[in-house]
């Protein structure tokens, strides 16, 4: 049974909107249809502006917006940020045994889903209210109290709608999850936009300026950039392709431990320990932490320290407002925000070094934390292998020998994987990759998951007998 904490959310399950599971087997083509519909709705909401918001809205922290499928000043202002944050909080609480939840129990799993929804809606309201108080859509005095209420209402409604879109896919009407689909779509959209945008696309506007012999925009600027963060460059495109290839390669690097089945003599298998053992989760945690530092730093600056005159708050973060675009200039916020181009790194190499060191430390720490919280530690993995009837050839049938061997590899691989992920994300941003370094890492993992899912669904559609093997 779920603990008392999750039981508190049971009455709310009756009033929260919900997508029902399909009572019939949804065909593969129908799943593709609903997945496409969800994707189209996401793109439409990413283009519809928030009613009542000031038209002079800057695009702060675009790199993280790509990761959270957020588009500044539109209905997708908050993106999937509140959903991801709520899920991570509950996973951490559950994994650390602060709340009791048996995910194999349908009742506990249902209460966990309800709690995730409630947390997501609450965080949507908190973040939306903080954005309004920070004046991100113009001051309340400027836009008016009615407009502020309408903006807040829009953010809440869209937040609930995004939760339902994600639930539509996860309940079996579509493929995968809405969160993964939106992240992948956001990264792909950003890459295509930076390549072919009519305003500043690398192969449209920028190349045409070079070919026209512009004195303000030369071949050097097209290759290396002008120093503006997030500006499309040829180096950035090459770095994007390189990051994709390196990440794909690293996802395949693994150590394989020989295993055998106790009940079937002579039947051998292998247990893979991937180099990226905890996947991309550490860099997601680190990015979310840096985003909160940026957000609260900007909130304090805009409401208390707009002139950067408070020496104590300046340690947390100082900003500069140029033509409506707010950029960090000092403090903790400055050193936890990645330089987004080679020129930015060259202008302040100390910032780049400090940012990379902070990112590496937090990714390594979060890797170790998730090792225990996510149930991936040697002790739990050894127990799972024993329960499945597997053992290491040449050792007695016990979880202790398996645990001792796993302890040689898993902790080292976990820390090493976290450091490698941090280095890839950091250097990718320094080179100005399209879609941000973290975005590319996530996109590769999601594409690989969708590939496996599509192959599995297609095989089950063509050979119905496979469904029993797949447990469907």
Q: Which helix (H) or strand (E) holds 254?
A: strand 254-261
**Which pTM was predicted?**
0.82
Compute the chain's Rg from CA coordinates: 24
pLDDT above 60 for 58: no
Tens of pLDDT, residues 241-262: 999 999 989 888 888 888 777 6
pLDDT category of residue 350 using cuts at 50, 70 and 90: very high
pLDDT digits (tens, 9 = 90+) for 394-428: 666 777 778 888 888 888 999 999 999 999 999 99
Q: Please state whether beta strands 325-330 and 390-391 pair in parallel, antiparallel, or not at all (unpaired).
A: unpaired
Average pLDDT of the chain, as a whole number = 82
| Token pair recorded at residue 383 | 């127990």
Tokens 């003599």 identify what position?
Answer: 265
Name beta bridge partners: 405. Answer: none
For 1-28, the pLDDT digits (tens) are: 445 677 888 888 788 888 888 888 888 8
Kindly state the DSSP code that residue 212 receives in the 8-state scheme.
T
The confidence score (pLDDT) of residue 450 equals 85
Task: Find all residues with CB under 8 Å of 330, minimum gap 6, and list them.
Answer: 308, 314, 317, 318
Q: Residue 428: its pLDDT value, please?
A: 92
Query: DSSP per residue over 388-424, as a string?
Result: TTEE-TTS-SSHHHHHHHHHHHHHHHHHHHHHHHHHH
| DSSP code per residue over 174-210 | SSS-HHHHHHHHHHHHHHHHHHH-TTT-IIIIIHHHH
Domains, the chain = 28-192 (1.10.3370.10), 247-434 (1.10.3370.10)
**What average pLDDT does range 181-191 have in this prediction?**
88
pLDDT score, position 104? 64
Q: For 98-114, what is the mean pLDDT? A: 76
What confidence category does residue 455 fall into, taking pLDDT thresholds of 50, 70 and 90? confident
Mark residue 465 as left, alpha or beta (left: phi above 0; alpha: psi -120 to 50; beta: remaining). Answer: alpha
Share of the chain above pLDDT 90, in %: 18
Q: What is the pLDDT of residue 470?
A: 47
Provide the pLDDT for residue 162: 92
Tokens 């639930």 sit on residue: 167
Q: How confident is the model at residue 472 (pLDDT cuts 50, 70, 90)?
A: low
Tokens describing residue 374 = 């996510």
pLDDT at 361: 94
Segment of 199-208, 311-320, 367-376 carrying the highest mean pLDDT: 311-320
DSSP state of 172: I
DSSP 8-state secondary structure symbol assigned to residue 277: T
82: pLDDT strictly greater than 50:
yes
Nearest residue to 457 (alpha-carbon basis) of 214, 236, 173, 215: 173
User: Contact at 8 Å (CB) between 365 and 399?
Assistant: no
Are the C-beta atoms of residues 46 and 71 closer than 8 Å to each other?
A: yes
**Cβ contact 191:240 at 8 Å:** yes
Nearest CA to 187 out of 94, 274, 71 is that of 71
The pLDDT value recorded for residue 246 is 92
Taking the C-alpha atoms of residue 447 and residue 441, their distance in angstroms, rounded to an integer, is: 10
| pLDDT at residue 27, as a whole number | 85
Q: What angle do CA 239, 242, 246 make, to 5 degrees?
A: 135
Res. 389 pLDDT band, cuts 50 70 90: confident
- Residue 230 has what pLDDT? 56
Residue 469, pLDDT > 70, answer: no
Two tokens, residue 399: 């979880």
At 33 the pLDDT is 92
Q: Quick one: CA dihedral 68, 131, 356, 62, positive or negative?
A: positive
DSSP class of residue 215 equals S
Q: Which two tokens stand for residue 9?
A: 């959310």
- Three-state DSSP state, 274: strand
In this structure, the chain runs to a length of 472
Encode pLDDT of 151-183 as tens digits: 999 999 999 999 999 999 988 888 888 888 898
Alpha carbons 31 and 168: distance in angstroms, whole number: 10
Residues 6+ apart with CB under 8 A from 311: none
Residue with the larger pLDDT of the pair 466 and 144: 144
Report how far residue 328's alpha carbon sits from residue 5's, in angstroms, rounded to the nearest whole number: 40
Tell me which of 96-110, 153-167, 428-442 is least confident.
96-110
DSSP label at residue 49: B
The 10s digit of each residue's pLDDT in 276-325 is: 888 887 888 888 788 878 878 887 887 788 888 888 888 988 888 776 66
Structure tokens at 225: 């950039």
Helices 28-45 and 437-462, axial angle in degrees (round to 10)? 150
Q: Is the pLDDT of residue 61 over 60?
A: no
pLDDT at res. 1: 42
Q: Give the Cα-Cα-Cα angle 81, 92, 161 (nearest 5 degrees).
A: 30
């Amino acid at each position: 049974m779920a603990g008392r904490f999750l039981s508190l959310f049971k009455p709310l399950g009756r009033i929260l909107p919900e997508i029902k599971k399909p009572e019939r087997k949804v065909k593969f083509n129908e799943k593709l249809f609903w997945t496409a519909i969800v994707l189209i709705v996401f793109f439409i909401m990413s283009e519809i502006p928030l009613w009542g918001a000031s038209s002079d809205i800057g695009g702060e922290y675009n790199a993280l917006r790509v990761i959270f499928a957020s588009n500044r000043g539109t209905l997708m202002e908050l993106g999937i940020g509140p959903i991801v944050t709520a899920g991570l909080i509950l996973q951490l609480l559950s994994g650390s045994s602060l709340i009791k939840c048996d995910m194999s129990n349908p009742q506990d799993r249902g209460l966990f889903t309800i709690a995730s929804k409630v947390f997501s809606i609450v965080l949507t309201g908190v973040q939306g209210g903080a954005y309004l108080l920070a004046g991100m859509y113009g001051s309340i005095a400027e836009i008016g109290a009615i407009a502020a209420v309408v903006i807040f209402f829009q953010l809440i409604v869209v937040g609930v709608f995004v939760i339902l879109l994600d639930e539509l896919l996860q309940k079996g009407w579509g493929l995968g999850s809405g969160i993964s689909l939106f992240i992948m779509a956001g990264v792909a959209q950003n890459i295509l936009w930076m390549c072919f945008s009519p305003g500043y696309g690398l192969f449209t506007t920028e190349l045409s300026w070079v070919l026209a012999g512009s004195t303000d925009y030369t071949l050097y600027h097209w290759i290396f950039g002008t120093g503006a963060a997030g500006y499309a460059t040829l180096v950035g495109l090459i770095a994007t392709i390189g990051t994709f290839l390196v990440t794909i390669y690293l996802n395949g690097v693994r150590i394989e431990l020989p295993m055998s089945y106790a009940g079937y003599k002579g039947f051998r298998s292998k247990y893979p320990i991937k180099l990226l053992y905890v996947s991309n989760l550490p860099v997601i945690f680190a990015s979310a932490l840096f985003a909160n530092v940026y957000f609260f730093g900007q909130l304090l600056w805009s409401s208390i320290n707009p002139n950067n005159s408070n020496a104590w708050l300046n340690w947390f973060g100082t900003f500069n407002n140029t033509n409506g675009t707010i950029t960090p200039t000092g403090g903790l916020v400055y050193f936890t925000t990645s330089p987004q181009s080679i020129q930015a790194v060259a202008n302040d190499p100390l910032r780049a070094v400090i940012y990379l060191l902070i990112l590496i430390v937090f990714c390594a720490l979060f890797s170790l934390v998730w090792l225990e919280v996510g149930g991936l530690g040697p002790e739990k993995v050894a127990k799972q292998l024993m329960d499945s009837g597997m053992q290491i050839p040449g050792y007695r049938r016990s979880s202790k020998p398996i645990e001792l061997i796993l302890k040689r590899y898993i902790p080292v691989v976990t820390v090493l994987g976290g450091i490698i992920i941090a280095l890839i994300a950091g250097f990718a941003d320094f080179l100005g990759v399209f879609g941000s370094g973290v975005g590319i890492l996530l996109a590769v993992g999601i594409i690989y998951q969708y590939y496996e899912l599509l192959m599995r669904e297609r095989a089950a559609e063509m050979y119905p007998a496979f469904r029993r093997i797949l447990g469907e």
